[in-house]
Amino acid sequence: MAEDHALTAGQQLRSFFEAPKRDGVIVVVLGLVLVADYAGLERHWLLAGFAALGALPTLVSAFVSLRRRSVGIDAFNVFAVVISFATLQFRSAAFIALMLSFARLLDWRTQTRARDAIAELLKLKPLKAVREVGDKLEDVAVDDVKLGDVLLVRPGSRVPVDGRIVFGQVSMNESSVTGESALVDKTVGDAVISSTLVESGVLKMRATGVGADSTIERMAALMRQAAENKSRTERIADRFAGAFLPLVALLGIVTYVVTRDAAKTSALFLVACADDMAVAIPLAMTAALGRAAGRGVVVKGGEWLEALHGMKTLVLDKTGTLTYGRLEIRDVHPESWIAEDEFLRLTAAAEKFSEHPIGRAIYRTVKRAHGFVSDPDTFDSFKGAGVSATVDGKNVIAGNERILAERGLQVPAEVMEKFEAEKNEHGQTTVLVMIDGKFAGLVTVADVPRPEAAEAMRRLKEYGVKRVIMFTGDNERTAADVAKTLGISEFRASMTPESKLAELKILQRDGRVGMVGDGINDAPALAAADVGIAMGGGGTAVAVEAADVVVLTDDLARLPEMVDLGHRVMKVIRNDTAIWIISNLFGFVLVLTGFMGPAFAAAYNFGTDFLPLINSSLLFGKDKNDAKPVKKP
Count the neighbouring beta carbons within 10 Å of the beta carbon of residue 87.
Answer: 21
Whether the CB-CB separation of 524 and 497 falls below 8 Å is answered with: yes
Q: Say whether 415 sits in a helix, a strand or coil.
A: helix
185 is catalytic: no
* Contacts of residue 186, Cβ cutoff 8 Å, sequence gap at least 6: 165, 169, 170, 171, 172, 192, 203
Phi-psi region of 227 (alpha: psi -120 to 50; beta: other; left: phi over 0): alpha
Strand partners, 535: 551
What is the spatial distance between Cα 427 and Cα 478, in angstroms, rounded to a whole number?
5
What is the spatial distance between Cα 282 and Cα 279, in angstroms, rounded to a whole number?
6
* Contacts of residue 486, Cβ cutoff 8 Å, sequence gap at least 6: 322, 449, 453, 454, 457, 470
Cis peptide before 376 (omega within 30 of 0): no
* Contacts of residue 1, Cβ cutoff 8 Å, sequence gap at least 6: none
Q: Which of 74, 107, 149, 317 is catalytic?
A: 317
Half-sphere exposure of 317 (CA within 13 A, CB side): 31
Q: In what order do the strands lie in the sheet with 184-186?
A: 184-186, 170-173, 197-200
Instruction: Supply the DSSP string of 161-230, one letter for each residue.
Output: SEEEEEE--EEEE-HHHH---S-EEE-TT-EE-TT-EEEES-EEEEEEE-GGGSHHHHHHHHHHHHHHGG
Q: In what order do the strands lie in the sheet with 191-192?
A: 136-141, 128-133, 150-153, 203-209, 162-167, 191-192
Whether the CB-CB separation of 510 and 485 falls below 8 Å is answered with: no
Residues annotated catalytic, as ranges: 317
